[in-house]
Structure formats: structure tokens, C-alpha cells
Amino acid sequence: MRSLSSFNNEFVFGMGWIDQWMDLDDDQVRYVIKNPIFKKPNKKFLFDDLPILTKEDHINLFLSKSNVNDIIIYTRKNAPVEKYEKITFSGIIKGYMRKDGSFDYGIHPNIFFNLHWDLEDLNEEVDDFLEKKDLMTKETLMYLEYRLKPKIHSYRRKLEDSGDQLPTFVNTYQDYVDELERHLDGVQNYINMIRTHSSSRKFRRIFKVKNNFSKDIPPLEVLNPQIIFTSN
């Protein structure tokens, strides 16, 4: 792995295939990753479109058993660890001393920003919401204002915090921005509709709403403006 020495202390993304693994002392597992390729991250581009820094025959990943799934990303969510499973990972290239005194280079893996899986869960939550039949309720408005909207803003902030360490194995930075903005627009449209119908006597009769409940539920922007993400 001498070619890794050219990129010492650089943060990289890697992709390879699990060849074998073995339990070690101190709650660690050693994964042997075959034919890994390494690329320098750039949030504007998909991993597949980035230039290759280096290819290796194999690399060892030494991981704690408790956070294997936080460091290795699979092509499928919650995929089991299986031989020849394609995996992706990230970390910093570092030199280390072998037990025999020789020197080599490897990857110090880090925990991924798991935004992609957060958004998959968000999509499921939104789908469940859209299946509801009775939307003109105080509970629905509170859910949209105080649970779903803050969650989207927190993911938007998480996206910015990831910088160029954002995994782009599935989507780019702009893809995630667009997806979050679509969700936020959709939530706000439902909020506006509920508030409009709640404040209208005509619509209250149609939807059999007793009173204007929306006046007692201030917008998130008024109640907790610090939660709202604003781009610089």
C-alpha cells in the first residue's frame, strides 16, 4: 500500500468488497477489504464521477463492534455483513508501524454523516402522513409546525455541517438540498391550507371544525426562530 503514502493525512472516501473479517481483542473486528479504490470527496459530484486517487489490492479496517454500522455504509440500508458485500467508508490516510517493525499506510475510518438514511426515514414519515384522511385538526397543525418542520430544518443544517465530508455515493449536495426544499415547501403548503381553512367560517362548516384553532398555534418561525435554517 505504498501508493497511499502520497496522500498521507488526507481525508478520502473508499469503496471495496468484504473479503473476510475476524474478531480481535478489545471489542474490535478486523475487516479485510479487497480491491478498494480511493477518491477525494467533493460534495458537488457523485462518488462514481470523481477521479480515482489510488487503487489497492486490499486494506484492513479495524473497527469497534459497537459502531461497525456507523462507519460502513452498504448499498442497502441495514444490510448484514456478508462476504463479497460491496461497502463504502471514509477516513484519513495514516502511516502505522507493523508488529515486525515495518511501516505501512492505512485508513483511520470515521463515522459517516448518515443524512441519506435520515431522509429515507423522512420520506416514509411523509408517506404515512399523506395517507391520513382527516388533516384539518389542531393535532395535525402542531405535528407539521413543531415536529416535521423542525426535523427538516435540522437535516438542512446537518447537510451544511457535513461540508465536503458529505457521502455522495447516492446523491450530491445539490440533490439533497433540492429534496429537503421540496419537503419543506410541501409541509408549508399543508400548514397554509390548514390555517386558511381554520380561520374561515365557510371552510370550518365544510370540514366540521368548531373553532379557529390555528390562532392558538404560532408558526415555528415565531415561537422558535433559532430552529429555522437560513443559508448564508
User: What pLDDT, in 10s, does the model give residues 95-129?
Assistant: 877 778 888 888 888 877 778 888 989 999 999 98
Q: How confident is the model at residue 29 (pLDDT cuts 50, 70, 90)?
A: confident
Top-tier CATH class for 2-109: mainly beta
- Global pTM reads 0.86
Query: Which residues lie across from 141 on neighbouring strands?
Result: none
Q: Which region holds residue 163: left if phi is over 0, alpha if psi is between -120 and 50, else beta?
A: left
Candidates 130, 146, 144, 136; CA nearest to 197 is: 136
Q: Answer with the residue of higher pLDDT: 132 or 179.
A: 179
Task: Return the domain boundaries, the chain.
Answer: 2-109, 115-227
Q: How confident is the model at residue 1 (pLDDT cuts 50, 70, 90)?
A: very low
Kindly report the number of other CB atoms within 10 A of residue 170's CB atom. 16
pLDDT in tens, 152-173: 999 999 999 998 889 899 999 9
